[in-house]
Amino acid sequence: MPYTESMLVLGMGNACLDTQLSLERLPGPGGKAPVVEQRHMVGGQIAGALVGCRRLGLEARFLLRSGDDDPGQRLRDELKAEGMGLAYSRVLAGVPTASAWILRDSSGERIVLWSTDPRLAVRPDEITPELFDGVAALLFDGRDGPACLRAARLARARNIPVIGDLDCHYPHTPELLPWIDHLVVPESFAPPPPSPRHVVVVTRGAQGATGREHGGAAVESPAFAVPVTDTTGAGDAFHAGYIFALLQGWNLAERLRFAHAAAALACGAVGALAGLPRRRQVEALLASGAAQ
């Protein structure tokens, strides 16, 4: 599938306002630690991945659900500034926008705490065929189970690949998994083996990733060795890079290498969106022959 500027990714799932607390080190159980710095930034795994897709040159349509509060307004404003398609977004009166609290230590590693009001869920009746007009790929985090399932079925009927960015299990997850074509998840998710339709990619941060498709041999892909400021946006960048490479028709090894380069660059700035790279930056890192 050749690259065109009109390639459109449809996304549904988490978008939030992050409060990032920088610490010298994360305290153990019962411990205390002073906050070195506090920042408020837009985040959320699907919001980040879609912004990553935009910066790589793809189009993005987001089924954003946010409250009518100040965090929701900031969320919408920043996503619009990134060129995000929000025609199918909804603002819910009296509902708080999703929030996350990120504890980041001096090594760049972090712990994430989050809160999402259930009223922010996308309803299955909001998943209509016209959502898929011009869509080249569907990305979701699996949180809104009935809506994700309907979206996946509509995508498959149109031969649109479904990418799952799942990082936790829900009661509906087993029913949803067979409808995901590309399952790109952290090692902690413990995904199933690939089915005849599945590509499964397991990411392990600095230890790289392993991909396997359609029962074939495992493809090992090392991560790039880069200075780390903050790992918060690395997973989002990895998914964006994987989707971009998928829509070029590249093989699994090429997809993983491009995704790793995007993720490495994302670690160079603080916050989920700040380090998400442009296509030319990823290509420059790949061309540099930098060690993985």
Residue 223 has pLDDT above 60, yes or no: yes
For residues 88 and 188, the model is more confident at 88
Pick the CATH number of 8-25+34-286 from 1.10.3720.10, 3.40.1190.20, 3.40.1160.10, 3.30.1280.10: 3.40.1190.20
Distance CA(8)–CA(134), nearest Å, equals 6
Q: Are 278 and 56 in contact (CB under 8 A)?
A: yes
The percentage of residues in the chain with a pLDDT greater than 70, rounded to a whole number, is 95
**Model confidence, pTM:** 0.92
In this predicted structure, what is the pLDDT of residue 194?
Answer: 64
**C-alpha 252: how far from its chain's center?**
18
pLDDT in tens, 282-291: 999 999 876 5
Distance CA(230)–CA(267), nearest Å, equals 5
User: DSSP readout, 210-240?
Assistant: EEEETT---EEEPPP----S--TTHHHHHHH
- Range name among 9-23, 160-174, 188-202, 247-261 with the lowest pLDDT average: 188-202
Residue with tokens 């670690």: 267
pLDDT in tens, 9-21: 999 999 999 998 9
